[in-house]
């Protein structure tokens, strides 16, 4: 398992990061522990979680995922061997994070979030603490397809009167770093403008420079390549790619409208991000391409993301050990020029149908 430098830090993270958002909902504590055991035995040293998890978010399960990670590290006594990433929610009307009120990226709410996460994680510090989504009113994912972009322009009437300035939020993260509660600061679901604004404020010594960006990246959403790839390369911000399987749609299990019993789409009906116009046809074409190369679609899609030179770490997710084994094996796939040409030929025709 190759290790890559995280931003400008001295941390070397595995090219595959273990995602955790099913633990505590689709997966039990024992399942989560088994996944961490397997991943770390294969060279993974990087786990991503969030105060929001597990998914789908709801008050009765919120925080369980961090608790499962915390119990594993306590049992293994291996905190010093884990590079741990977590996230604070952005602006949300959901009230269960802050004890009965909505949350924003203000000092009180960020401190509340980090203290609760540290307790659940059985840790004195978090290696990488990320803003899960922007305070600003932007489409989810921050890199919308054309439909999302038009909707934003049509519906947006300017920033909310109480929008928290980036400089104010960044100053809170500065406090957290100086207090030793977090080591580094990162962004997620952020746009090119947002990344550059955080960097600009950090360059004024108002707070820590973002070391990473966690955004969606897969065959049907390569929007990162348009502007963010240059931003991240030139500013030395590591790309942490989530959803390499497009919420399972690039595994082939949903081809031709199938909804297997126990799958996330069947259980929770949360696949709308990958059910946009023309998405089904594009997804099927990529899955058939994988089969033409003699590979399972999930292995092919994971290998593509892990092989990208601008991706520091690919965040995989699994609900079974068999799925995890395949995702981990993607690090061993040699991505060929013929594979890339075939993928690019489809992309040239279908573009980015999913946000």
Q: Are 305 and 218 in contact (CB under 8 A)?
A: yes
Closest CA to 64 of 95, 20, 105: 20
pLDDT class for 158, splitting at 50, 70, 90?
low
| Stretch 8-16: mean pLDDT | 98
Q: What is the pLDDT of residues 281-335, one digit of tens each?
A: 999 999 999 999 999 999 999 999 999 999 999 999 999 999 999 999 999 999 9
Query: What is residue 296's predicted lDDT score, i.e. its pLDDT?
Result: 98
**For residue 145, is pLDDT > 60?**
no
Phi, psi of 85 (to 5 degrees): -115, 135
Residues 6+ apart with CB under 8 A from 15: 1, 2, 3, 4, 306, 311, 312, 313, 314, 331
Rounded (10°) angle between helices 64-76 and 29-41:
50
Q: How many CB atoms lie within 10 A of CB 203?
A: 9
Query: What is residue 263's predicted lDDT score, i.e. its pLDDT?
Result: 81
| Stretch 58-82: mean pLDDT | 98
Query: What is residue 38's predicted lDDT score, i.e. its pLDDT?
Result: 98
Query: What is residue 312's predicted lDDT score, i.e. its pLDDT?
Result: 98
| Stretch 132-148: mean pLDDT | 69
Closest CA to 326 of 352, 295, 289, 353: 295
Q: What is the C-alpha to C-alpha distance for residues 248 and 180, in angstroms, rounded to an integer? A: 37
Three-class DSSP labels, the chain? CCEEECCCCCCEEECEEEECCCECCCECHHHHHHHHHHHHHCCCCEEECCCCCCCCCCCCCCCHHHHHHHHHHHHHCCHHHCEEEEEECCCECCCCCCCCCCECCCHHHHHHHHHHHHHHHCCCCEEEEEECCCCCCCCCCCCCCHHHHHHHHHHCCCCCCCCCCHHHHHHHHHHHHHCCCEEEEEEECCCHHHHHHHHHHHCCCCCCCCCEEEEECECCECHHHCCHHHHHHHHCCEEEEECCCCCCCCCCCCHHHCCCCCCHHHHHCCCHHHCCCCHHHHHHHHHHHHHHCCCCHHHHHHHHHHHCCCEEEEEECCCCHHHHHHHHHHHHCCCCHHHHHHHHHHHHHHCCCCC
**For residue 148, is pLDDT > 50?**
no
| Stretch 213-218: mean pLDDT | 97
Q: What is the C-alpha to C-alpha distance for residues 13 and 76, in angstroms, rounded to an integer? A: 20
pLDDT class for 147, splitting at 50, 70, 90?
very low
| Stretch 128-135: mean pLDDT | 97
**For residue 144, is pLDDT > 70?**
no
What is 3-246+304-334's CATH topology? TIM Barrel (3.20.20)
| Mean pLDDT, the chain, whole residue set | 93
Phi, psi of 337 (to 5 degrees): -65, -35
Q: What is the C-alpha to C-alpha distance for residues 312 and 241, in angstroms, rounded to an integer? A: 8
Q: How many CB atoms lie within 10 A of CB 348?
A: 8
Q: What is the pLDDT of residues 335-349, one digit of tens each?
A: 999 999 999 999 999
The verdict on whether 217 is a catalytic residue reads no
Q: Are 68 and 29 in contact (CB under 8 A)?
A: yes
Catalytic residue among 53, 184, 249, 286: 53
């Amino acid at each position: 398992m190759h290790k890559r430098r995280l931003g400008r830090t001295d941390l070397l993270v595995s090219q595959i990061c273990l995602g955790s958002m099913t633990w505590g909902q689709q997966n039990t504590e024992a399942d989560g522990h088994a996944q961490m055991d397997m991943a770390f035995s294969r060279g993974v040293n990087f786990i991503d979680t969030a105060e929001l998890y597990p998914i789908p978010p709801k008050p009765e399960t919120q925080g369980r995922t961090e608790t499962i990670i915390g119990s594993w590290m306590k049992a293994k006594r291996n905190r010093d061997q884990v590079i741990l990433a977590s996230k604070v929610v952005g602006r949300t009307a959901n009230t269960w994070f802050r004890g009965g009120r909505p949350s924003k990226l203000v000092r009180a709410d960020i401190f509340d979030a980090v203290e609760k996460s540290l307790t659940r994680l059985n840790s004195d510090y978090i290696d990488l603490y990320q803003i899960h989504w922007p305070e600003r009113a932007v489409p989810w994912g921050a890199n919308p397809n054309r439909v999302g972009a038009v909707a934003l322009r049509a519906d947006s009437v300017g920033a909310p009167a109480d929008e928290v300035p980036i400089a104010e939020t960044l100053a809170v993260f500065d406090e957290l770093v100086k207090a030793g509660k977090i080591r580094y600061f990162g962004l997620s679901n952020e746009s090119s403008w947002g990344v550059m604004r955080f960097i600009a404020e950090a360059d004024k010594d108002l707070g820590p420079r973002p070391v990473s960006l966690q955004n969606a990246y897969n065959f049907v959403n390569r929007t990162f390549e348009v502007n963010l790839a240059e931003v991240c390369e030139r500013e030395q911000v590591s790309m942490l790619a989530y959803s390499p399987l497009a919420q399972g749609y690039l595994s082939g299990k949903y081809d031709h409208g199938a909804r297997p019993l126990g799958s996330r789409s069947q259980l929770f009906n949360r696949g709308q991000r990958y059910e946009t116009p023309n998405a089904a046809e594009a997804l099927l074409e990529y899955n058939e391409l994988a089969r033409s190369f003699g590979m399972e679609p999930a292995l092919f899609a994971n290998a593509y993301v892990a092989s990208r030179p601008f991706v520091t770490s690919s965040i995989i997710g699994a609900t079974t050990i068999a799925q995890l084994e395949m995702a981990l094996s993607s690090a061993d796939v040699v991505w060929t020029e013929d594979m890339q040409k075939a993928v690019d030929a489809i992309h040239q025709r279908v573009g980015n149908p999913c946000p």
